[in-house]
Amino acid sequence: MRSLNGEDATNVQNLLPTHGDSEPLDAYSRTVSTVASVVSAGVVRVDVFGQGRNADRPIGMGSGFVFTPDGYIVTNSHVVQDGSRFVVRTIDGERFTGFKVGDDPHTDLALLSIDAPRTAALPLGDSRELQVGQLVVAVGNPLGFQCSVTAGVVSALGRSIRSRSGRLIEDVIQTDAALNPGNSGGPLVNSRAQVVGVNTAAIASAQGLCFAISINTARIIASELIRKGVVRRSQIGLQAQTAPVHKQLRSFHGLQQESGVLILGVEPRSPAEASGLREGDVLLRIDETPLEGVDALFRHLTETAAGKKALLRVLRGREVISVEIVPRMIEE
């Protein structure tokens, strides 16, 4: 397996075809085919085994992808949460024992590790650069069919879906790239073969309504799991999404940032409600941290932020105001 980070990741871009107006369908097909062949080396199948009578037969199966060259694998929390033993399979037919590093049910993300001499770590993109209508490719193992490929577009950005823990996962990507059981945990990639999301859910009663956790969120959670094996965080009690700040307002207030955190809802009896935050407010900064997206707010709301007074800079209508808030720990 060959690493796709560093110089190899740059070479990937040279393999991808340019889009010609004369043959749009053929160019589309070549792009999807090339991206799939490049990414497949870093996509894995995760077989999940239980205990007792379930120790010798899989009780579940999902997908994952190589996050770092030293063998960390990103997948979904719901894929691994009931397992006690994991077998990770590559497209080359190699089998490795997977060790559970940690999982975070609140974002439906988990991290495994494998002891492998070479791993094809996939290059990561920036989910904030995604646009509605952009081509995306999903690679995974639906219903056990190894390394299946589907393609579609980004249908919407900034969605919120409820995790199995009951909490909302923010900044979710909606796509019509078909997902089925077994796709969970696999990568959603752009036309440059960069991972932009972690496939997590499909609405069974609908067609073309599928969701992926943004890679910016996954990068934060995976890093915490590598460092601590668990994610401890504080909260302020918001439902929010990344949203652009109007050019005229940026100019009027001398704002450098082009986007902020738009409040879609405020939880009752939360720090946000106590501070007077409202639906429609746009968070621009917390203390000295610019909030250009929901992922920046997540990075700030760590365990150490709980109980400490913070100053929010908020765009309300056409005015910029300051609001004091005290984040609180999320109770497990």
Catalytic residues: 78, 108, 184
202, 173 contact by CB (below 8 A)? no
Map tokens 């009663």 to a residue.
205
Q: Are strands 135-140 and 187-189 parallel, antiparallel or unpaired?
A: antiparallel
Which helix (DSSP H) or strand (DSSP E) does residue 172 occupy? Answer: strand 168-175
Instruction: Report the alpha-carbon distance of residue 89 to residue 147 in Å, rounded.
Output: 11
Identify the bridge partners of residue 161 per DSSP, sorted by sequence position: 169
Please tell me the distance from the alpha carbon of residue 158 to that of residue 128, in angstroms, as a whole number.
Answer: 10
Start-to-end CA distance of the chain, whole Å, equals 39
Q: Taking phi first (over 0 means left), then psi (-120 to 50 degrees means alpha), and beta for anything else, what does residue 176 get?
A: alpha
